[in-house]
Amino acid sequence: MKWFKALNKIQIPGSGTIKTVNVNGKQLCIINDEENLTATQSHCPHAGGHFSGGWCKNGHLICPIHRFEYSLSTGRGAGGQGDYINIYPTDFREDGLYVGFEESWWSKLWG
Ligand code: FES
């Protein structure tokens, strides 16, 4: 796992809000659901809606376009959707929020 700083402490979104960030060449959404911070992909797999306009309900992220729901803990879509979103590990450190990315087998070999 490689960790990249996503936000300084002062930039962390307030409770109930979503912020778009670019980390390690990827656009992500940082979601603050009742002080639980989650990093997800920024676009909905259904039809590309941007999650920055979405909201949280009962531990799920709701897409603003057609209101599909995704678990903020597993990324799994609600029953019947048959889809999922990527959830990235987060680590709140002294100087801000970090997001973890799995290392590919080739980057481990070739650095
Ligand atoms: S684009 Fe997200 S639910 Fe349709």
Ordered structural domains, the chain, with CATH: 2-105 (2.102.10.10)
Ligand 1 binding pocket includes 61 (Cβ within 6 Å): no
Measured from the CA of 47, which atom of ligand 1 is nearest? 1
Question: Is the pTM for the entire model greater than 0.75?
Answer: yes
Ligand 1 binding pocket includes 75 (Cβ within 6 Å): no
Q: Is the pLDDT of residue 111 over 60?
A: no
If you measure from the C-alpha of residue 74 to the centroid of ligand 1, how many angstroms do you get, rounded to a whole number? 18
Ligand 1 binding pocket includes 66 (Cβ within 6 Å): yes
In angstroms, how far apart are the furthest CA atoms of the chain?
A: 43
If you measure from the C-alpha of residue 10 to the centroid of ligand 1, how many angstroms do you get, rounded to a whole number? 31
Q: Is the pLDDT of residue 105 over 60?
A: yes
pLDDT band at 104 (very low <50, low <70, confident <90, very high): confident
pLDDT band at 110 (very low <50, low <70, confident <90, very high): low
What pLDDT does residue 103 have? 85
If you measure from the C-alpha of residue 43 to the centroid of ligand 1, how many angstroms do you get, rounded to a whole number? 9
Report pLDDT digits (tens) over 39-50: 999 999 999 999
